[in-house]
Structure 1
Amino acid sequence: MAPILHCVRHAQGEHNKGGDAYLIHDPRLTEAGIAECKALESRFPYQSSIELIVSSPLRRAVQTALCSFQPAINRGVKIVVLPELQETSDVACDTGSEVSKLEEEFGGIVGPQGKVVDLSLLDENWHVKRGRFAPSSNAIIARARDARKWLKARPEKEVAVVSHGGFLHYFTQDWTGIGEEEHASAWENCDFRSYEFTVTDGDSDGDATLVETHASRAARGVADQRIPTKEEQHAYYLRTMEMWERRGFQNPLKLNEVFGT
């Protein structure tokens, strides 16, 4: 049976301060971000049930995983770093570091079961924003699908997934809640939502579609809201792509691919 996924956006990074902070390469968490992680640690109700933590390789995501899930890590849960979970754009703050630098920073952290952070899925070009990691919609759609399929095949029953405000919209295929121009994502720092895998119309080819759990929707106060249709999600997606293109976050090629139309 496929696992339940508890998806988390990273805590505040140095690049979230505004101005030209987005030019910081692969930024770390701020002191406020670390405090956000501690608050998440306290309110996250699945510390005793998650069996794996999967993180984007960007520093702020790995730090969030380490700071937010210490109760799970202390009982032996490991962090697997998955390159597909990295953020969408090719600006400096969304461009990762070489494996050797990540190994130097995170590879020596040891828990009850040995090394805590597993970097073995990263190749030497994971941080190069070309090909499957290019900042274009068709590339991001493909890697979001790959990430869902990889996670769907995991043997664990519950998995925490730490990623980014832009990529989590692709990953969950939910484009609601993106409002004003200055808010590029409906996910706030350290937001978390829980999802189950489901088979829906058009998913017979194993697209690994996710649906947010009722408990998760209730916790964020949207349980009584109607779930958008596929056509409505398509419209939200196109609107978001237009805004992201204006802001230089990505090149939205082949806009209809996300909905298979």
Structure 2
Amino acid sequence: MAPKIVHLVRHAQGFHNLSYANHSMPDPLLTEYGQQQCRELSEAFPNPSALDLIVASPLKRTMYTALLSFPSVIAKKQLKVVALPEIQETSDLPCDTGSAPSELSREFGGKPVDLHLVHEGWNSKKGKWASYDDAIDARARQARQWLMSRNEEEIAVVTHGGYLHFFTQDWADHSKFVGTSRTSGYLAERTLIRSVGTGWANTEFRSYTFDSNSGDDAKLVETKESRSRRLGDEKPLDAEEQTNLRRVMLQTSLEKGFLKGTTGGQEVEAKI
């Protein structure tokens, strides 16, 4: 039985968000303002006590966002934040590359964190974890399937702005921080993602249900209440519009040097 609702959350402000120069920082922590954003999310999030499961990307900023944003329900229900490598950020920049399992164990030792799904190589940015668009699509689908198989009724997932477009298959406002392009060409081969803009603000959350007719794709559909909260009566984009936006994103990122084409070729593991 699929969860009734999944709340997707972008992490709070990290030090890499302060400047492009900070993209060279490995696995950066949250800024002081980012920690304040978590406290504000904790107060603004509707009915956090209803959460049965909290999942986060194993990068430090996402793990701390989860811990600091949902402290009351974590304590009340004795939950642990489950680190899920499949929802790590898209690029292979140092700021988007996670730490080794041993480092994460030291960082989060004694905290309510579950690292059993984090194995050596999860941060290699190779194979299944590579920054190619098809590899990201595959692990996003695997993560959706994993979530869809859960028995918990209400789940919070803390991840990254660029990845959230792949995860939700919604490309609206993807170019907010990248720029726009009218180029319609598309790379026929795999595309290496170096940086993706995002329409998600730090600690923004949106709520979704699973489309029961989407099969193995485990497609997410934003709830009416969630869309209305942020977009009012604006009409959702149709499938063709979403496809065109994705093409523009890939081409724009290529032109700006955020990605490069390659023939790739490695197989992606089928299961989490």
TM-score by length of 1: 0.89
What SS does the corresponding residue of 2:26 show, helix, strand or coil? coil
Shift of the alpha carbon at 1:78?
A: 1.7
- Asked if 1:105 is matched to 2:101, the reply is no
Specify every segment of 5 or more residues in structure 2 that has no aligned partner in the other structure, as ranges: 180-196, 264-272
1:137-148 equivalent positions in 2, closer than 5 A: 137-148=133-144
- Asked if 1:87 is matched to 2:83, the reply is no
- Asked if 1:156 is matched to 2:169, the reply is no
Once residues 122 and 168 of structure 2 are traced to their aligned partners in structure 1, the CA distance between those partners, rounded to angstroms, is 22
1:33-182 equivalent positions in 2, closer than 5 A: 33-75=34-76, 76-109=78-111, 116-182=112-178
Match of 2:201 among 188, 191, 194: 188
RMSD: 1.6
Once residues 207 and 251 of structure 1 are traced to their aligned partners in structure 2, the CA distance between those partners, rounded to angstroms, is 26
Code of the residue aligned with 2:253 in structure 1: it is: W
Once residues 250 and 96 of structure 1 are traced to their aligned partners in structure 2, the CA distance between those partners, rounded to angstroms, is 19
Specify every segment of 5 or more residues in structure 1 that has no aligned partner in the other structure, as ranges: 110-115, 255-261
Deviations for 1:58-93, whole angstroms, at most 9, x for unmatched residues? 110001001101111111122100000100000100
| Aligned CA distance change for structure 1 residues 91 and 238 (closer, same or farther; 3 Å) | same
What SS does the corresponding residue of 1:6 show, helix, strand or coil? strand
Once residues 218 and 261 of structure 2 are traced to their aligned partners in structure 1, the CA distance between those partners, rounded to angstroms, is 22
Once residues 27 and 126 of structure 2 are traced to their aligned partners in structure 1, the CA distance between those partners, rounded to angstroms, is 17
Once residues 252 and 147 of structure 1 are traced to their aligned partners in structure 2, the CA distance between those partners, rounded to angstroms, is 25
Shift of the alpha carbon at 1:181?
A: 4.9
Aligned to 2:14: 13
| Aligned CA distance change for structure 1 residues 162 and 181 (closer, same or farther; 3 Å) | closer
Deviations for 1:83-138, whole angstroms, at most 9, x for unmatched residues? 001000001000010000000111321xxxxxx10000011100000001111100
Once residues 113 and 198 of structure 2 are traced to their aligned partners in structure 1, the CA distance between those partners, rounded to angstroms, is 27
- Asked if 1:224 is matched to 2:237, the reply is no
Which structure 1 residue ranges, 4+ long, deviate > 3 Å from structure 2? 179-183, 246-254
What SS does the corresponding residue of 1:196 show, helix, strand or coil? strand
Kept after mapping to 1: 8 A contact 2:38/2:203: yes
Kept after mapping to 2: 8 A contact 1:136/1:251: no
Once residues 262 and 235 of structure 2 are traced to their aligned partners in structure 1, the CA distance between those partners, rounded to angstroms, is 30
TM-score by length of 2: 0.86
- After TM superposition, the structure 1 stretch with the greater mean CA deviation from structure 2, 73-82 or 119-128, is 73-82
Aligned to 1:2: 2
Aligned to 1:236: 245
Once residues 137 and 233 of structure 1 are traced to their aligned partners in structure 2, the CA distance between those partners, rounded to angstroms, is 15
